Amino acid sequence: MKIALIAHDEKKDDLLRFIDKHLVFFKNQELYATGTTGSRIIEHTGLDVHRCKSGPLGGDQEIGAMVANKAIDCIIFFRDPLTAQPHEPDVSALLRLSDVYDVPLATNEGTAEAVLYHLSHKDRG
Q: Known binding site: residues? A: 8, 12, 34-37, 54-55, 87
Residue numbering of the annotated binding site for substrate = 8, 12, 34-37, 54-55, 87
60 as an active site residue: the answer is yes
Rg (CA), the chain: 13
CA distances from 31 to 2, 76, 81, 84 (A): 6, 11, 24, 27
- Exactly one of 9, 14, 60, 80 is catalytic; name it: 60
73 contact partners, CB below 8 Å, separation of at least 6: 1, 2, 3, 103, 104
> Which residues are identified as catalytic?
60
